[in-house]
Structure 1
Amino acid sequence: MTNQHMLRLEPGTDAAWKLSGTDAGRFSLANEYLAYLADRNYSPRTVRAYGYDLLAFCRWLVSQDLELAAVTVETVLDFMRFCRLTPIEGRPANVLSMTGRRLDRYSATTINHRLAALSGMFAFRSMREPELHSPIPSGREARRVSAEERNALLGHLIRPKKRSELRLRQQRMLPRALDRRETADLLSSLRTWRDRAIAGLMLLSGLRSGEVLTLDVTDIDIGTRWVRVLGKGGKERRVPLDIEVAGLIQTYLLLERPESDCARLFLVAKGPNRGQSLTPAGLRTVFRYHRIKSGVLAGHPHALRHTFGTAMAEAGVDLAVMQALLGHAHVDTTARYIHLAPAHVKAEFDAARTRLRTRT
């Protein structure tokens, strides 16, 4: 029997996830930590993501015949080396990215995410048992603090948290926006009012796919053209609603939305699940179909949000306003879109060169 069969991740009670299987008893700390995250009101998706990170680590410990209590810095280094060198099943081994990295290996982002899960679990253990130190060494301070810490009463006294010295260097990739032709081709392939309204909310209001799927009918105020959005971390914000998108939503509600007791705005229209809330998997299926149909292979849901951010940057919208519209916790994230505004950057560059020429 393989390690995968001896240890697996399953949904527990409420928002908690847990490790189960033959070897689950050896890793009670992991389950206690996941339950702790759920008790702290972390979203089920976050708890699930941390659960899979810990599952990978615990499976590796089983293969090495090690216990959590015996984990040292050297053990963590060995695990990171394993993550970096082990091929991913189903990925082509002979394909390289433009940077020369093999595509059948885990990315630095994935490995750092696993490291963060381990760091959190061992910090949780140290909180309960101070005599047990974490095997994850702390390094230099992070570049920023969270929005909640920064806006607190004594936020000016908060110092950034220290990150682990084991973190891998990550490439800072700019978001990929769709150009006008790609946007037009993708939108023209959409046939239902529901799909057009979903795309419109992402493209013209900058909503995330998860935010679109959690919208209730009562969150849309077509008269005043506002949308109440529940974003990451349970942060609520109000976003202006474009008049064209308001028309699409109104037509969808009048002509296409199935009768249902479900409060969600966007529902499944056909099949045995008709009238139930549209799921993330269902939304991915919709966009996968239309990407192939339109030939716009970059037309992922989040690409529409990136296109919105780029358009706002090119229009010269204030950075603080863009942050509020996009629901970013840190202005650094919003600032990435400034680099995606080539027209604005080129205009400023040409203006600066003109001023320099007139001085000489």
Structure 2
Amino acid sequence: MSASERSPAWADALEAYERHLRSERGLSEHTVRAYTGDLDQLSSHAEALGVRDPSALDLRALRSFLAAQQVRGRSRSTLSRRAAAVRRFTAWMVRTGRADEDAGALLVNPRRHRELPAVLRQDEVRALLDAAADRAEGDAVGVRDVAILELLYATGIRVGELCGLDVDDVDHARSVVRVVGKGDKERSVPFGRPAARALERWLGLRGTLAVEGSGPALFLGKRGGRIDPRTVRRMVHARIEDVEGAPDLGPHGLRHTAATHLLEGGADLRSVQELLGHASLATTQLYTHVSSERLRQAYAQAHPRA
């Protein structure tokens, strides 16, 4: 349903809620688009049921909406996200006086199936970084790529966080990088000597790519602007191809890998949660399952009585 076809009550509520997501919650553009897209579909379904005003939403209408999504074959993760989007919207409606009752408060979240993420072994990480270094050979872009790979693996930061880094965000004396994560939350993440050396080499060549409009961006694209997440993703996938037998991973796969290796090395779960910038410990706990699964696989392959 287009905005022009939507009832005035729905249009007003959705426009106000979008402003709330952008200005008050400070969510990323991607997250705002996801939430508003889900609520656009909710409004269309609700109006088809005769609910012309979101204040009249009830649990039956919300369950009908999710059931229709399931019939269309939506994944469990998509259903879970849409249920969360609906609950946040109905709670906001009550909080802002637009509705008397929170229709989504009793909406059950569909159980989400969490698949174990693919990760690299430690020897595969070494092979990846060695191959990238061999390719660099003093070329500014190649040296930049090595620094990106080293930093992604050393810190486990998200690709968007990496692309948003400025030169001054790197504290070379303390070997930490200041990261602004989801919800504009700031954290400091340490990195080791290999990443420090790679960053020093890149900063020594950064000026060869810099242009007048480069600004303070730590990592630059070939044309001198702040590097784009898509460029980083393409580079990581390309460099992974140099490692025989390694799973095809992007930057988020290196984040999974860093978290898994930290836990395998004895780091406690709370520390890994803080390093990764997870709001919930439950998200970090996924990596304990990865480590356990890798241990079972190693046992099955190596123990004579497995």
Asked if Structure 1 and Structure 2 have the same fold, meaning a TM-score greater than 0.5 normalized by the shorter chain, the answer is yes
Structure 2 matches for 1:69-148, cutoff 5 A? 69=54, 70-86=56-72, 105-129=73-97, 132-138=100-106
Residues 303, 74 of structure 1: CA spacing in aligned structure 2 closer, same or farther, 3 A cutoff? same
Deviations 1:310-349 (A, max 9, x none): 1111111233332332223333333333333349967xx9
Q: Tell me the CA shift for residue 186 of structure 1.
A: 4.2
Aligned residue in 2 for 1:299: 249
1:47 corresponds in structure 2 to 32
Structure 2 distance, partners of 1:316, 1:80, is 42
| Structure 1 position 127, deviation (Å) | 2.0
From 274, 280, 286, give the equivalent of 1:330: 280
The 8 Å contact of residues 159 and 252 in structure 2, kept in 1 or not, is answered as yes
Other structure's SS at 2:221 match = coil
Determine which of 255, 262, 274 is the counterpart of 2:215: 262
Instruction: Label 1:53 to 1:130 Cα distance change in 2 as closer, same or farther (>3 A).
Output: closer
Q: 2:160 aligns with which of 210, 213, 218?
A: 210
Distance 1:314 1:177 in 2: 12
SS at match of 1:170: coil
Q: Which has the higher contact order (CA 8 A, sep 6+)?
A: 2
Query: Which residue of the partner structure matches residue 261 of structure 2?
Result: 311
The one-letter code of the counterpart of 1:266 is: F
Distance 1:297 1:193 in 2: 24
Partner secondary structure for residue 341 of structure 1: helix
Q: How far 1:212 sits from its partner (Å)? A: 0.8
- 1:276 paired to 2:225: yes
Deviation at 1:35, TM superposition (A): 1.0
Contact 1:178–1:298 at 8 Å: present in 2 too? no
What is the aligned partner in structure 2 of residue 177 from structure 1? 119
Partner of 1:32: 16
Secondary structure class of the residue paired with 1:111: helix
Contact 2:146 2:198 in 1 (8 A): yes
RMSD (CA atoms): 2.9
Letter matched to residue 193 of structure 1: V
Structure 1 residue 170 displacement after superposition: 1.6
Q: Residue by residue, what CA displacement relative to the aligned partner does 1:131-161 show, whole Å, maximum 9, x if unpaired?
A: 63232242xxxxxxxxxxxxxxxxxxxxxxx
For residue 175 of structure 1, report the CA deviation from its aligned partner.
3.5
Assess, with a 3 A threshold, how the Cα gap between structure 1 residues 177 and 128 changes in structure 2: closer, same or farther.
same
Consecutive unaligned residues in structure 2, runs of 5 or more = 137-141, 300-306
Are 2:7 and 2:52, in contact at CA under 8 Å, matched by a contact in 1? no
What are the superposed Cα offsets for residues 46-74 of structure 1, whole Å, 9 maximum, x if unpaired? 32321222123234446666524453322
Task: Return the offset for 1:120.
Answer: 1.7
Of stretches 56-65 and 197-206 in structure 1, the one that deviates more from structure 2 is 56-65
Instruction: Provide the aligned length of Structure 1 versus Structure 2.
Output: 282
1:22 Cα deviation (Å)? 4.8
The runs of 5 or more residues in structure 1 that have no matched partner are 8-19, 87-104, 139-163, 350-360
Q: Greater CA deviation, 185-194 or 309-318? A: 185-194
Structure 1 residues 179 and 135: alpha-carbon distance in aligned structure 2, compared to 1, 3 A threshold: same
Distance 2:163 2:217 in 1: 8
